[in-house]
Amino acid sequence: MKPVIPLTLAVSLFAVSGTTFAGSDSGLYLGASVGQAKIDFRDNRSLDDVDFDVDFDDDDTGYKIFGGYNFGLIPLVDLAVEGAYVDFGSFNGSIGTLTDAGLDINGWTGAGLAGIKLGPIGLFAKAGVIAWDSDFKGVNFDDDGTDPLYGIGARFNLFSFQLRAEYERYDLDDFDIDYFSVGAAYTF
C-alpha cells in the first residue's frame, strides 16, 4: 500500500503540471514565416478578343506575417483564429508568345485553427479563405478573388515562444498554390 500513495501523488502532480503547461499559450500571438510556394497554372485566356495560352509551372520563396488569438478553452486542445498577409513571390512562365512572363500573387487570409497538444509539441489543422490579387508581368492583365485555403502543421512551444512548420493549400480560381513554410510566433 505504501508505494501506491507516492505513485498516486506523482501522477496527480504530473497531470496538473501538464494541464497548466498546456493552457499556458492562450492569448494573442504574432509571428512570421518564410517558405516555398509552388504553382502549376495552365489555361487558355482571352483578352480583347485574342486567345492565348498561359503556362506557369514554377516555385519561389514567399513569406507570411500572421497574428491570431488562441482561446485556450480546453486544456489539451488548441482552438484559434488567425489572420495573415501572404506574399507568394514571383513566378516565371509564358503567356501566349511571351516566354519570359511573370506572375506575382499576394493576399490576406482569415482562418480557424484546431489542434491537439502533446506537451510542448502540437499538431494543428486550419481552414479559411484568402482574398488574393495577382499581377501578370508582360501583359496588361490582373486577376483577383476570394477562395478557400486549408492546411496542416506542427509546432513546438517553449513558454511563450513557438516554432512552427506548416503546409497550406490555396485553391484559387483557376490554379492552386502549395506553400510549405517554417516560422516563429510569440504569444503575449
User: Which amino acid makes up residue 62?
Assistant: G
Distance between CA atoms of 80 and 72, rounded to whole angstroms? 8
> Which positions of the chain have pLDDT values less than 50?
15-23
Pairing of strands 27-47, 176-187: antiparallel
| pTM of the complete model | 0.81
Structure confidence at residue 80 (pLDDT): 96
User: Domain 4-187 carries which CATH code?
Assistant: 2.40.160.20
Instruction: Extract the C-alpha cell encoding 35.
Output: 517558405
Per-residue DSSP letters for 53-115?
EEEEEEEEEEEEEEEEEE---BTTEEEEEEEEEEEEEEEEEEETTEEEEEEEEEEEEEEEEEE
- According to DSSP, the residues that pair with 28 across neighbouring strands are 69
- Express each pLDDT in 104-159 by its tens digit: 999 999 999 999 999 899 999 999 999 999 988 877 778 899 999 999 999 999 99
Structure confidence at residue 154 (pLDDT): 97
- Identify whether the C-beta of residue 178 lies closer than 8 Å to the C-beta of residue 184: no
The SS3 of residue 171 is strand
